[in-house]
Amino acid sequence: LSGLQLTNNFKKQMVIIDFPAWFPSKKVYCHEDMAKALKTWFKKIEDAKLQDLILTYDGCYNPRLVRGGSSPSMHAMGLAIDINAKWNGLGRTPATGFGTVRPLVELARESGLYWGGDFIRGDGMHFELGIKKIKPVKKEKKEESKKEA
């Protein structure tokens, strides 16, 4: 996206992570805090033997605006992932049969992720990191000299 700037050393917080062999993509580029949540979530998915529900990987980091909006998407910060998009499109009722992600939702929540299927404009393919899970970026302190009168 032209004009979109990543600030507060954001690029230094981006990482490439390897995923398990069962995941449709071998590597994913995302925010380091998202990487931790995804690893936790995928471990829970494996433990529950639900990995066959993830049919497609449809993106994580993507510098763009929210569809139809003017603010950066959570994807623009590497803080969201889309899976099984074909069956869980934006604004559509998320799948309940083939292509469903519904059995993965509670595991996602336990891992610190919000499900887009719960959004007002449903986005069943979308899982994003809960804001409270993101560690704050420390701002540089500027030394200011205050003169007392």
**With 70 as the cut, is the pLDDT of residue 95 above it?**
yes
Mean pLDDT of all residues in 77-83: 93
H-helix segments, the chain: 32-47, 102-110
**With 70 as the cut, is the pLDDT of residue 25 above it?**
yes
The string of pLDDT tens digits covering residues 42-56 is: 999 999 999 999 999
If we measure between CA atoms, which residue out of 46, 40, 49 comes closest to residue 112? 40
> Contact 111/46 with Cβ under 8 angstroms?
no
DSSP tag of 133: G
> Contact 10/74 with Cβ under 8 angstroms?
no
Res 145: pLDDT:
40
Separation of CA 83 from chain center: 11
Tokens encoding 100: 């469903």
Q: Phi/psi zone of residue 59: left (φ > 0), alpha (ψ -120 to 50 degrees), beta?
A: left
Query: What confidence category does residue 120 fall into, taking pLDDT thresholds of 50, 70 and 90?
Result: confident
DSSP tag of 87: G
Cα distance between residue 77 and residue 137, in whole Å: 13
Instruction: Specify the higher pLDDT residue, 17 or 146.
Output: 17
Res 10: pLDDT:
66
